[in-house]
Amino acid sequence: MNFIDSSATDASFMENQYLSFIVNEQDYAFPISGVREIISVQSIMAVPEFPAYAKGIINVRGDVIPVIDMRLRFHMNEQTYNARTCIIIVNCGSRNIGFIVDTVSSVIDIAPENISPSPRISGEAAAYITGVGKIGERIIMLLDTDKLLTDEMMEAVVSGMNNV
């Protein structure tokens, strides 16, 4: 288990840093400032009437955390979890949420001049894709953790947790 203590790190140092990860052979990244922890996939308790993209809840040192499968959230085919599959726990607004990804790549530094505006897209993705980072030939979709779940999605997850 890896732990990232972003509170102990200088904020200006973290400004251009991202945690990169892979979902369906595509690169994505969260701002490192919102990442709390990276853990291996563990037993996930299913929750009745949870949305399809929400796999259930986990207990991390006494905190009950809802877990979202990024493949399902992005309307991709579900995949069997393996040894490389991880849960990235991030702060989404006032709540910690776990996101299941195929694998975590690395912490990367992307200078502002290497970030292009998000592509012109419609739908929900327009809200949570903040830009496209470029590192050499690698292209990385930068995601806003606070907007990854719409208000309605967050409400569905929170109300599902209240049923537990």
Q: Write out pLDDT tens, residues 8-55.
A: 445 555 679 999 999 999 999 999 999 999 999 999 999 988 898 999
Please state the domain count of the chain. 1
Q: Write out pLDDT tens, residues 86-127.
A: 999 999 878 899 999 999 999 999 999 999 988 787 777 788
Q: Which residues contact 117 (CB under 8 A, 6 or more apart)?
A: 131, 132
Q: Which residues contact 96 (CB under 8 A, 6 or more apart)?
A: 36, 63, 65, 89, 90
Between 89 and 6, the more confident residue is 89
Ranges of H-type helices in the chain: 11-14, 70-73, 125-128, 151-162
84 φ/ψ angles, rounded to the nearest 5 degrees? -90, -15
Q: How far is CA 118 from CA 106, 121, 125, 142, in A?
A: 22, 8, 10, 8
Return the CATH number at 131: 2.40.50.180
pLDDT at 6 over 80: no
The separation between CA 81 and the C-alpha centre of its own chain, rounded to angstroms, equals 16
Closest CA to 88 of 17, 158, 19: 19
Q: What is the pLDDT of residue 3?
A: 45
Instruction: Output DSSP code: residue 70.
Output: H
Mean pLDDT in residue range 73-79 = 93
Residue 85 near residue 41 (C-beta atoms within 8 A): yes
Q: What is the pLDDT of residue 10?
A: 52
Mean pLDDT in residue range 58-77 = 94
pLDDT bin (cut points 50, 70, 90) of residue 5 is very low
* Rounded CA separation 123/119 (Å): 12
Instruction: Find the domain containing 23 and state its range.
Output: 2-162
Q: Where are the beta strands (DSSP E) in the chain?
A: 2-3, 17-23, 26-31, 35-40, 54-60, 63-69, 86-92, 95-101, 103-109, 115-116, 129-135, 138-143
* Rounded CA separation 106/112 (Å): 18
Q: What is the pLDDT of residue 155?
A: 82
